[in-house]
Amino acid sequence: MTAQGEDLLAFLESAISLREQRAHALGGQSITVTDHGWTTQLGGGIHLDGGVLHEDEVAHIVLNDPAAVLRRCAADRKLLELHAGSMHSCPAKDETGYLDEWTQFDYAESCPVVRLIAEGYGWTEGER
Ligand SMILES: [Zn+2]
């Protein structure tokens, strides 16, 4: 595997593991909204009240609660099992924009799926 591919996979492992650790630290459970005053209870019993957060902020937190984070991390790990560190074909656009549905990727290459997963975790072109 090339340094670029290793860097990308190391970045993803670190980013996913950090999110999993943070989600587990909060109990890994869904956030329960207990009333419309947006009093919320996180898995470990942390309370936020409506005076601190706007209801849109609370709604956003609920959609990104520890259980949701763990689901996303698990799904991304499954995608990485399919697309990282192995020979496979994957749809990719060439420099002209043509979509080749059967582009071959070697063990050392990062296919578009891996790069897009990494982007979701904050990987930028400058890190390549
Ligand atoms: Zn792929």
Helix 112-120, helix 3-25: angle, nearest 10 = 40
Distance 21 CA to ligand 1 centre (A): 27
Give pLDDT, residue 42: 46
Ligand 1 center from residue 58 Cα (angstroms)? 35
**More confident: 41 or 108:** 108
How confident is the model over 3-35, as pLDDT tens digits? 566 789 999 999 999 999 999 998 898 877 665
Around ion ligand 1, residues with a beta carbon closer than 5 Å are 83, 90, 111, 113
What's the 99 CA to ligand 1 centre distance in angstroms?
14
Q: Which helix (H) or strand (E) holds 100?
A: strand 99-105
pLDDT given at position 128: 52
Sign of the four-CA dihedral 8, 121, 95, 97: positive
pLDDT of residue 20: 97
**pLDDT class for 92, splitting at 50, 70, 90?**
very high
- Determine how many CB atoms are found less than 10 A away from the CB of residue 103: 16
Packed helices 66-83 and 112-120: angle between N→C axes, nearest 10 degrees? 160
